[in-house]
Chains A and B, each alone.
Chain A
Amino acid sequence: MSICLSARQLSKTYNSFQALAPVSFDLNHGEIVTLSGPNGSGKTTLLSCLSGLVRPSTGTVTVGGCDLYRDEREARRKLMYVPDVPRFYLELTAWEHLRFIALANDAVDGFEQRAERLLRAFGLWDARDLFPHHFSRGMRLKLGLVLAFIRPFKALLLDEPTSALDTESVQLLLTELVRVRSEGATVLLSTHDPALIEQFGDRRMVMRQGQVEFAG
Chain B
Amino acid sequence: MNAVHWVRSRQEESELVYWLSVVAYDPRDRSLNNRLYLIYIVVFFAVWIFAVLTLFAGGGAVILQAVSPADPAGAAAWLLAVLLAAWGLFALRSALRRSPVVFTEEDGLLLGQTPVSRRAVVLRWLWLPWIKNALPFWLAAVTLGFSLIEATVPGEMGLQHLPEYIVHGVRAWLPFVPAHLGLFTLVWVAGVARLHRDQERRWIILPALALAAVLVLPALGLYPGEGILPSALRQLAGVLAYPLRAGFLPVSLGPALAAGWGLALAALALLWQAAEGFSLSRAAQETREGAEITSAMRYGLADYAAERQLQSRLGVVRRPSRLPAVPGPASLVWKDLIQARRSLRAAEVMDWIGLVGAALSFSLLPDPGSRMLALGFWSLQVGKVTSARLRSDLSVWPLTRQLPVTARSLLVLDAAPSLGLALVLSLAALGAGAAAGAPAWAWVLVLPGAAISAAGSAAYDILRRARADLLMNGSAPAVSSTGIIMGAACVLAPAAGLLWMPGPAGLLAAVAGSLALAGLCLRLAERSYGRIGGD
Residues of chain A whose beta carbon lies under 8 Å from any beta carbon of chain B: 14, 48, 51-55, 57, 69, 72-74, 76-77, 79-81, 83, 86-93, 95-96, 99-101, 103-106, 108, 129-131, 133-134, 147
Query: Which of B109-117, B132-140, B335-343 faces chain A?
Result: B335-343
Offer 7 A-B interface pairs, CB within 8 angstroms, sorted by A. Answer: A53-B533, A54-B469, A55-B468, A69-B530, A83-B398, A89-B393, A104-B403
Known: A52-B401, A73-B405, A95-B320. A133 touches B331 (CB 8 A): no
Q: How far is the CB of A114 from chain B (nearest CB, A)?
A: 15
Most buried by B among A53, A74, A104: A104
Smallest CB separation, A142 vs chain B (Å) = 15
Assembled-state Cα–Cα distance A101/B403 (Å): 8
Which of B319, B339, B532 interacts with A91 by CB under 8 Å?
B339
How many B residues have CB within 8 A of the partner chain? Answer: 48
Find out whether the CB atom of B404 lies under 8 angstroms from the CB atom of A105.
yes
Set of chain B residues within 8 Å of A91, measured between Cβ atoms: 310, 314, 338-339, 342-343
Does the CB pair B404–A89 fall under 8 Å? Answer: no
| Cα-based distance from A87 to B392 in the complex (angstroms) | 12
Quick check: B320 and A100 within 8 Å, CB to CB?
no
Asked if B334 and A100 make an inter-chain contact with CB atoms under 8 angstroms apart, the answer reads yes
Min distance, Cβ B437 to any Cβ of chain A, angstroms? 43
With a cutoff of 8 Å between Cβ atoms, the chain A residues found around residue B252 in the complex are none
Q: Are A89 and B402 in contact (CB under 8 A)?
A: no
Decide if B474 touches A73 in the complex (CB within 8 Å).
no
Query: Min CB distance, B160 to chain A, in Å?
Result: 60
Of B317, B392, B398, B404, which contacts A81 at CB under 8 A?
Answer: B398
Is the CB–CB distance between A55 and B399 below 8 Å?
no
Contacting chain A: which of B161-169, B321-329, B368-376, B453-461?
B321-329
A87 touches B342 (CB 8 A): no
What is B's interface to A at a CB cutoff of 8 Å?
307, 310-311, 314-321, 325-329, 331-332, 334-335, 338-339, 342-343, 392-393, 395-399, 401-407, 468-469, 472, 474, 530-535
Contact B338 A92 (CB under 8 A): yes
Residues of chain A lying within 8 A (CB to CB) of residue B310: 90-91
In the bound complex, CA of A54 to CA of B397 (Å):
10
A55 and B534 contact, Cβ closer than 8 Å, known pairs A90-B314, A93-B318 = yes
In the bound complex, how far is the Cα of B326 from the Cα of A63, in angstroms? 26
Q: Are B335's CB and A81's CB within 8 A?
A: no
Please give 10 more A-B residue pairs, beta carbons under 8 A apart, in addition to A14-B535, A90-B314: A72-B407, A88-B396, A90-B339, A96-B320, A96-B338, A99-B320, A103-B325, A104-B403, A104-B405, A131-B314
B311 pairs with A130, CB closer than 8 A: no
In the complex, how many angstroms separate the beta carbon of B139 from the nearest chain A beta carbon?
A: 38
Residue of chain B at shortest CB distance from A133? B311
Set of chain B residues within 8 Å of A76, measured between Cβ atoms: 402-405
Note all chain B residues with C-beta closer than 8 A to A73. 404-406
In the docked arrangement, what's the CA distance between A74 and B469, Å? 25
- State which of B328, B342, B472 has its C-beta within 8 Å of the C-beta of A104: B328
Please report the C-alpha to C-alpha distance between residue A96 and residue B318 in the assembled complex, in whole angstroms.
10
Collect the chain A residues with CB atoms within 8 Å of residue B320's CB. Answer: 93, 95-96, 99, 129
Kindly list the 8 A-B residue pairs having the minimum CB-CB distance in the complex, ordered from nearest.
Answer: A103-B331, A55-B534, A54-B533, A55-B533, A91-B339, A76-B404, A91-B342, A77-B404
Q: B403 CB to closest chain A CB, in angstroms?
A: 5
Which of B318, B397, B532 has the most C-beta atoms of chain A within 10 angstroms of its own C-beta? B318
A96-B401 contact given A48-B468, A91-B338, A103-B327, CB 8 Å threshold:
no
